[in-house]
Structure 1
Amino acid sequence: MHPSGATPEGIQVCRLLDEHRDSCVALLSEERYWEFPGAGTAAEEYNRTVSGGYGEFLPNLSCVALHGERVVAFVLVARNTPWVPEDDTQAFITDIVVSPIHRQSGVATALVREVLASAVLEGFKSVSLFSDDVNPAAERLYDGFGFDSSPS
């Protein structure tokens, strides 16, 4: 994490736009965590999320981290997901993806901070996510923001 909690130098956090799609899919395809029984390609999973396949996609809460013009990380957010159904007051982070060379730099912290601030402004009472405990750095990030790590 960036020592001051500030956005890392050279990184800009902004809303996710349609023009970021290909870069986000490329980052997602580098990852393997999303490969589960029944999952499609990285492009199919990304498109499924932003088209409402995992609940109502929330573009006002979803964002990217840019280094220059290049997407180096993104977070996707929805509500009324299969994991938290029928709760309009709770936003759910469906994906946090950071390029390998930008991990442990504070980029994910900046993205989560932006999601939480935007969620408050949009009137959400809480934000949640699911983690499968295979990434200790991610667990430290979530714990640092006070996400409950107890099984539900």
Structure 2
Amino acid sequence: MNNLAATLFAQGDLAGAQEMQDGVLEVHRRVLGPEHPDTLTSQNNLAGTLFAQGDLAGARALEEGVLEACRRVLGPDHPDTLTSQNNLAHTLFRMNEPAQALALMIEVVPGRTKVLGPRHPDTQDAAAFLAKLQAVVAVQPQS
């Protein structure tokens, strides 16, 4: 089901992907439990689809829950935790909250560097996003 959801997403059928991801998440919650790593990944995947559909509030709510659970269950330096934190930062940026996104990314880059290495594509993408956030926050008027 998850693979079909990914295929639907790649084909641009976001509604179909969301429907399939809702089903995957329901099964994972029932069979594996709400904090199993696969359940958290399913929530993260659904949040990504909501993000792509423009439902930023829905994506954020899921991402915040996933990040909290990942930190508790997997630890702050686990690659899935860092991915969850990265995803939430992207959502916050799109919601015009760059300072909050920056606070998250300041932790993601060193975490990914430590766990994945400085040349890993995820580390490099995070570093580029961090630099973008730093530039945006630097030019924002202070309140």
The alignment's TM-score, normalised by the length of structure 2, stands at 0.36
Q: Whose strand proportion is higher, 1 or 2?
A: 1
Structure whose CA Rg is larger: 2
Which structure carries more relative contact order (alpha carbon 8 Å, separation 6+)?
1
The alignment's TM-score, normalised by the length of structure 1, stands at 0.34
Q: Whose helix proportion is higher, 1 or 2?
A: 2
